[in-house]
Copies of this chain bind each other. A is one copy, B any other.
Amino acid sequence: MSNAFGQAFRYSTWGESHGPAIGAMVDGVPPGIALAEADIQVWLDKRRPGSSKYVTQRQEPDAVRILSGVFEGKTTGTPIALVIDNVDQRSRDYSEIKDLFRPGHADYTYFKKYGLRDYRGGGRASARETAMRVAAGAIARKILLQAFPDFRVRGAMTKIGPLRINPEKWDWAQVDMNPFWCPDAGVVGMWAKFLDMVRKEGSSAGAVVEIHASGAPAGLGAPVYAKLDADLAAAIMGINAVKGVEIGDGFGITAIPGEDAHDEMRMRDVPGKNAREVEFLSNHAGGILGGISTGQDIVVRYAVKPTSSVLIPRRTVNVHGEDATVVTKGRHDPCVGIRSVPVGEAMVACVLADHWLRHKAQCG
């Protein structure tokens, strides 16, 4: 259905940014996993607005409550209900934009679909819904960690507007040390100046984000319509403002000759054990071959369009079929890509948890 994600690990979300609360229900979670609100809150805090001057200054504590499915500190196997109260529903005057279709927003399409629209912050099209993706992703991580203690998913931003990182300077340790989840310390200063400029001009910038998941086993996915990469593509393309998704080398692989584009294999000794294991000599494939994981790092990259709201007047039409001009005022996120990083991580975790449970059903 329209508001649920996944099959065996399945979560559903509800709520609008200007209603009393938003929530999710997470179904299919194995019983007996230790889970507390703090396990979820840590990831929500990472996504939270207001954390730097480069993201919206809307202030939401985003404190999550677990209302069901956990008993005596452990999951019970029954649905876990999560709720976050909407605290900062600023009683703003919407009369100016109430009848206008803002370019780049879902206003027009929402209206064409439903014959109505919730003009208070975009209704379900608001990025506020992504808080629940992050919350569900926190539970997905717990499921995977229980089965695969080395499992880890983390994201980084590799481009803001026209400015790329140098991939050879990638350092995961840098990612948490700047407000951009940037893995290349050398570009942080330039990005800061660029975004300051963008913000002052009332403009906005796009971004590219890259998610790596390590420690997941080979064998997740299926060869035809449950391909791991297809489900990852849907999960990521479904994040607000995303316009492109790549696995591994993505579009870049089209320019590599066939003999170099495919990852060769060799046997290697398993460190510290009297055993041998398969080693891939490269990872052009991004950890997925024929829709099934190889056991290497799973690498997903995505493009986020510039924030739709800009402080510069744009041409549009209104619900009465008249030409009009729209200008956004007030709080403003110059680059929504920044806040999408924890969301992208969460979606990758959710897809992997779902495929892990589905794999167990058939092959476990």
Contact = CB atoms under 8 A, between A and B. Distances in A.
Contacts of A74: 116
Interface string A2-34: 111101101011111001111101011111100
B226 A237 contact: no
Interface stretch (A52-60, A148-156, A173-181, A303-311): A303-311
Q: How large is the interface on A (under 10, 10 to 19, 20 to 34, 35 or more residues)?
A: 35 or more
Q: Please provide the 4 A-B residue pairs with the shortest distance between their CB atoms, ordered closest to farther.
A: A106-B290, A104-B262, A204-B258, A206-B254
Interface stretch (A40-48, A75-83, A87-95): A75-83
Contact of A257 (B13, B19, B225, B306): B306
A172 interface: no
Contacts of A20: 67
Contact of A308 (B23, B68, B250, B258): B258
A168 interface: no
A254 B105 contact: no
A14 B25 contact: yes
Contacts of A118: 71, 76, 78
Nearest to A320: B267
A259 interface: yes
Contacts of A32: 114-116
B259 A314 contact: yes
Interface of A: 1-5, 7-8, 10, 12-16, 19-23, 25, 27-32, 67-69, 71, 74, 76-81, 101, 103-106, 108-110, 112-116, 118, 122-125, 129, 159, 161-162, 198, 203-208, 217-227, 229-238, 240, 242-259, 261-267, 276, 278, 281, 284-286, 288-295, 303-308, 310, 312, 314-317, 321-323, 337, 357-364
A31 to B, nearest CB: 4
Contacts of A16: 68, 71, 78
A29 B114 CA distance: 11
Copies of this polypeptide in the complex: 4
B243 A237 contact: no
A2 to B, nearest CB: 4
Given A104-B262, A113-B363, A206-B254, 7 more contacts: A3-B222, A77-B362, A106-B223, A106-B289, A125-B291, A264-B315, A278-B317
A207 B108 CA distance: 34
A309 B343 CA distance: 37
Given A224-B238, A265-B315, A364-B360, A254 B305 contact: yes
Given A116-B31, A362-B8, A306 B253 contact: yes
A243 to B, nearest CB: 5
A283 to B, nearest CB: 12
Of the candidates A4, A22, A281, A308, the one having the most CB atoms from chain B within 10 angstroms of its own CB is A4
